[in-house]
Amino acid sequence: MGYLRALEKKMVLWYTSLLLGVLLAAVQVHVHGQTPTTEGFISIDCGATVNSTDSITGIPYTTDDQFIDTGVNYNVSLNYLSSSLPKQYSTVRSFPDGGRNCYSLKPANQDQDTNYLLRASFMYGNYDGKNSVQKNSPLQFDLHIGIDLWDTVDISDPSTPFTYEAITSIRADEWLSVCVIRTNPSSIPFISLLEMRPLKDTIETYASGNYYLVCLMRRNLGASGEKIIRYPDDPYDRIWDPMNITLDVLTPDKAVEHNQTRDGYGVPSAVLQTASVSAGVNDIIRFYWDSPDSEIDHHAILHFSELELLSEKDVREFDVYIGDYLYANFTPTYLKQQFSSRTIYGVSHRNFSLNATARATRPPLLNAFEIYHLKRKSYERTNAADVEAMFKIKEAYKLKKNWVSDPCRPTEYAWDGLHCSANSGNGDRVIAINLSSSGLVGEVSIFFSKLQEIQFLDLSYNNLSGKIPDSLATMTFLQVLNLTGNCITEVPKGLVEKSKEGSLILRFDNNTDTCNGSNPTPSGNDTTATKKKITTPIIIVLSVVPAILLVAGVILTVWRIRIKRQAVNCELVQLPSESWQLNVDHGGGQQPYTSLQSDIDYKGSQLPFETRQFMYTELENITKKFSRTLGKGGFGTVFHGIMEDGIEVAVKMCSLSSEQAPNLFLAEVENLSRVRHKNLVSLIGYCMDRSQMAIIYEYMPLGSLDDHLRGKAGTGRFLSWAERLQIVIDAAQGLDYLYNGCPMPIIHRDVKTSNILLGQNLQAKISDFGLSKAFHSDLQTHVSMTALAFSPGYVDPMCLETWKFNEKTDVYSFGVVLLEIITGEPPIRRDRDVQIIERVQLSFEAGDINAIVDPRLQGTYNTESVWKVLELAIRCTARAIDHRPKMAEVVKQLRESLKLEISERSKSMTLENKACHS
């Protein structure tokens, strides 16, 4: 019996031990081998019409129609598909239209700032049947994360998938856009796959809010064959490419511990199960890579785990060099995950190395490594609250607009119907929205009131109904709210009061056209009483309208006779048919505004119907009482303004200091309203309000060429040679149009760098050509110079002698402009009373180009291109008029010079491995 009891005890202990062992094993599996999940993954099969699942990873992929509104779906040619290629590569979405097309991604249930891995894949596969990709003719376009350049996609093989990875942080509740940008007319962008993976809190934050990382390479050392490790082995679905190098390979008998809660980079155990070691203890493991751009910083991460159970006598110890930084006496721990990381700044030759220390008996070891480009995010972006509000508005009305990525940046891709004001401190702000006739249905969205600095909101001629949200009355900066032609039934009392006070222009007429005859009423009013009030005025109006029309006809006839008596030598300037009904209060009630003046000879001129007339009080509102000065124009001071629809304008107030001023003013309005060209500043409107005269024309936000050459533009950089060439090409095209494109050719007479204005992307436009006189097609007809305001250094000396002016005198001035972009110097330097042409001539004859070219260019230009422009400038400034070229030839020669410069830049660029996996 004692024996049996002892045996029973042993069996109980044995079973207990076994049970505990099983439980411990289960716990260990749970801790070290947690089942991965695709929760939070966004996996898009671009161009597909049905959802699918990847046969290798088991990751589900969805179609892309919920993420993008543009593009065309295509199937890849069957000749390029194989059993080894995931079926997600069988379709693409192509973007033949538009410069920028974007996918809008919104992470689900995101309540904090999070790092995300982005991966975009491209396989051409002759989807368009055009064989557009050849080895000697790659297909190229840009890939952006929002407004920031991610990489340049370079497709050189039609049958190979090209993959690009990046890591970026996204703020809570933020939208993220991935965009393809068409940079070459012959290269149509497309995309095969787009993937987004949350890295969560277990990944160390090495992509902060100000930076993002572009993957250059991610390698698994010691791996056998061509096996790629990704999900589910890597729960974050990073792609680890095998790298077999001429080093010894280590593999452990046991699995490397994977403690996901402690490991800063979450490297999967499958990657750490192999390592490469050098053949000898004193042999160095070294990796290096070159970058064509020494300004790009790189971030390197090295992963270690000791795979050998070393004896007490053996030591594996080595120094880790990442660039010039040293981690000394590093010893990897047996079957534990460790890493070293460092950013390498500002050199073209990058490397890391592992060197055994003096006490080491075992050679250095490396399991895996990652290399990233470290890129700074652009500071110029739209305020986050405005971005969120705009996406909510788009979502609320299900707008099928190309409203993608940042609403305001880059400015050339700003959302249609939006106008923004630059604000570097807290992001650009949306100040105007025009959604007129956009098919909006439902109530006025409360998210409009989230745009705290909006000034102008046009929602006219839609199908909006119900009550206007009370929150719109709390918008501090709102100046115009246009709800004409909707179904609005109630207007908040706060908006009505603002309208009565004059701080808000509120329009909601014609709502009865689509709303069963119910006009909007101020909230809080008795509806029945309101209807009675509406009915009575209608009866009165119908009864008195004929009498009013009769009286108005008599008054109009008497008024016309009176005007003709006052203006014997004056003919009426035709007012624009599209001018708004304007009234001005002079203290005795509002009176209709008229622009007729009896003391100015208008010579019977008529302005185009589309030219808008402004009143002086409007200009005060537009310019905020003329608070911001842009500079001095041909006739007076130029002010910055913002119109009611948010469009920025330049308002030129014209001085009346001379008797010629009124005629010169009208000449400028006539000339500006008659010509339309992409390289000429466009007229928006004019003002002739008694003694006040002004011209309103488009605002050129980047100032003048003179500002940039003199370092006054505030950009912190100087124009490159290619940028300077493109600017003068634009300017020359504008001048050529004045001579050869207008029905009656126009001479500018004041060509200079301060009259070459720059818009976004440095597009140049000629301004102040209103001083010129229209003359007949005979270009030898001369014009008196008595009214010309001379610009020292630009005036043709022959013109000063003869007092005659024609196209060739403009060419002379333009030649001086060309000398300015070459030298960077003004026409006349204060320290030397010598004109630029005389200074350059000596060095030109000596053949010394270095003594001529702007030293700020630092030799970054094609010498042949500069010589070609210099020779052209010398010809333009020739004393003999017949030796000067026509402007059409100037345009041609400048274009050829730009081609030389572009060719030089292309030759000097070296390609860098851009893909993490291909």
Return the SS3 of 449: helix
Query: DSSP for 209-241?
Result: TTEEEEEEEEEEET--TTPPB-TTTSTT---BE
CA distance 213 to 296: 11
End-to-end CA distance of the chain: 74
Name the residue with tokens 């652009």.
378
- Side chain identity at residue 677, one-letter code: H
CA distance 162 to 92: 13
Integer-rounded Cα Rg, in Å, for the chain is 36
Query: DSSP for 469-517?
Result: PGGGGG-TT--EEE-TTSEEEEE-HHHHHHHHHTS-EEE-TTGGGTTTT
Burial 886-907 (b: 16+ CB within 10 A, else e): ebebbbbbbeebbebbeebeee
Catalytic residue among 750, 768, 810, 854: 750
Q: Are 733 and 891 in contact (CB under 8 A)?
A: yes
Burial 362-380 (b: 16+ CB within 10 A, else e): bbbbbbbbbbbbbbebeeb
Name 810's Cβ contacts closer than 8 Å, sequence gap at least 6. 735, 739, 747, 748, 749, 751, 887
Name 294's Cβ contacts closer than 8 Å, sequence gap at least 6. 346, 347, 348
Return the SS3 of 551: helix
Write the DSSP symbol of residue 882. Answer: G
Return the SS3 of 166: strand
CA distance 64 to 45: 6
Residue 91 burial (C-beta neighbours within 10 Å; 0-12, 13-18, 19+): buried
Alpha-carbon distance values, 696 to 37, 613, 615, 652, 684 (Å): 60, 9, 11, 6, 5
Residue 446 burial (C-beta neighbours within 10 Å; 0-12, 13-18, 19+): middle
CA distance 306 to 275: 9
848 flagged as catalytic: no
Q: Are 770 and 739 in contact (CB under 8 A)?
A: no
Name the residue with tokens 């990796």.
287
Tokens of 58: 């088991």
CA distance 645 to 162: 44
CA distance 832 to 430: 48
Name 407's Cβ contacts closer than 8 Å, sequence gap at least 6. 382, 386, 387, 390, 414, 415, 418, 420, 430
883: Cα separation from own chain's centroid: 44
Name 848's Cβ contacts closer than 8 Å, sequence gap at least 6. none
Q: Are 177 and 406 in contact (CB under 8 A)?
A: yes
Angle at which helices 887-908 and 721-740 cross, to 10°: 160
Give the CA-trace dihedral at 291, 293, 297, 301, to 10 degrees: -10
Write the DSSP symbol of residue 381. Answer: -
Name the residue with tokens 């993490």.
916
- Report the catalytic residues: 750
